[in-house]
Amino acid sequence: MPHRPSLAPAVAEIRRAVRAALSGIPAGSSVLVALSGGADSLALAAATAFEARNAGLEAVTVTVDHGLQDGSTDAAATAAAQSRSLGLEARVVRVEVGREGGREAAARAARYAALRDAASTLRAAAVLTGHTLDDQAETVLLGLSRGSGAASLQGMAAVSELAHGIALLRPLLGVRRATTRAACAAEGLEPWDDPHNSDPSYARVRVRQRVLPVLEAELGPGMAEALARTAEQLREDSEAFDEMIDETIEDLVEHAEAGISVSVPALAANPPALRNRIIRHVVHAEFGESLTRMQTLEVARLVTAWSGQGPIDLPGCRARRVGARLEFAAR
């Protein structure tokens, strides 16, 4: 029998991760891979090409050209060509990047909007992105620096919803960035190194190049894995809290004029962590807005330390105490 070459460990690891992510998608469905041309997304595309074929799925890559730097069009074309060499259909989408929230946030918003549109057009069941364990660790540190609480420290979810009926999958959250580079080398794929990924004007790049290496040097190896584990544990805790809220919130809320109201005695009976989550949940569910820690605590004072103070202006709504009810109304 002819000798079959052994599969490179990095390639095998990424294929296993992708196989697990695709396992719940029915045969005959389509999936999209967000392909920047970098090592992470290129290794993901190669693994998806192999695993999708075995699972009876159609895989398509979408490369979003943000047009933010010279040569971006050529880089997108090269990524698409490598995708086709893997046997995948490849699409390139050019987007206009606004300025709202800063260039990085605006580029991310434009990218995900393009991926949603492409997935909707192709009726894809899921979009896969190449975020790795290293990306997760960086996200946790950035959330910690903002002091934005457990929601930020949860990092990125392995499975979430990009749009109605379209899952957003991040199969490589347990895979190191070095592994994706090794996989590309093993498969003869040449990744593109985005200059933005080494530009220290971006906070994420500073975390990657300076902060994490210092933590590794001073506290010992394994910091990225520890941060990723922290994110996973916080996400489990958050899901448990969300289930508790879903079970109890219907007994607490009533519809009010131009908004919703919550029972003050019921809120007061809950521990602070649950009380604050209920307040944030009500505002997000009713008005589509997220409260900061300080805003949440100010609203909570209407429950626990009310001495006749007036309404509080919040994003998209106003909170006020009306007798034994905490009322949220649109502004």
Domain ranges in the chain are 9-219, 257-330
What is the average per-residue pLDDT within 248-270? 85
CATH, domain range 257-330: 3.30.465.60
Specify whether the backbone of 149 is left (phi greater than 0), alpha (psi in -120 to 50) or beta: left
- How much is the pLDDT for 71? 75
CB 292 within 8 A of CB 284: no
What are 141-152's pLDDT values in tens digits? 998 887 666 666
Strand-pair partners of 31? 59, 126
Give the pLDDT band of residue 298 (cuts 50, 70, 90). Answer: very high
Confidence check: pLDDT of 85 > 90? yes
Q: What is the pLDDT of residue 149?
A: 65
Mean pLDDT of 25-34: 97
Confidence bin at 257 (pLDDT 50/70/90): confident
Per-residue model confidence (pLDDT) at position 326:
95
Residue closest to 61 by CA, chosen among 43, 40, 84, 27: 84
**What pLDDT score was predicted for residue 285?**
86
Residue 293: pLDDT band with limits 50, 70, 90: confident
- Among 71-75, 137-141, 262-266, 320-324, name the one with the lowest average pLDDT: 71-75
Q: Does residue 251 carry a pLDDT above 80? A: no
* Total Cβ atoms within 10 A of residue 215: 18
pLDDT of 223 higher than 60: yes
The CA–CA distances, whole Å, from 118 to 29, 32, 48, 74 equal: 15, 8, 18, 21
Burial (Cβ within 10 Å: 0-12, 13-18, ≥19) of residue 271: exposed
Report the distance separating Cα 159 and Cα 179, nearest Å. Answer: 21
Torsion of CA 141, 143, 146, 147, to 10 degrees: -100
Tally the C-alpha atoms within 13 A of residue 25's C-alpha that lie toward its C-beta. 31
pLDDT confidence of 5, banded at 50, 70, 90?
low
Range with the poorest average pLDDT among 95-104, 171-180, 267-276: 95-104
CA dist 315 and 282 (Å) reads 13
- How does residue 292 score in pLDDT terms, banded at 50, 70 and 90? confident
Does domain 9-219 fall under CATH 1.10.357.10? My reply is no
What is the per-residue pLDDT across 30-60, written as a single tens digit (0 to 9) for each? 999 999 999 999 999 999 999 999 999 999 9
3-state secondary structure of 128: strand
* Distance, CA of 318 to CA of 331 (rounded, Å): 6
Q: How far apart are CA 321 and CA 281, in angstroms?
A: 18
Whether the per-residue pLDDT at 176 is higher than 70: the answer is: yes
Which helix (H) or strand (E) segment is 32 a member of? strand 30-34
**HSE (side-chain half, CA atoms, 13 Å) at 59:** 27
**pLDDT of 321 above 70:** yes
Size (the chain), residues: 331
Segment 10-17 shows an average pLDDT of 98
The residue-averaged pLDDT of 105-109 equals 85
Mean of all residue pLDDT scores within the chain: 90
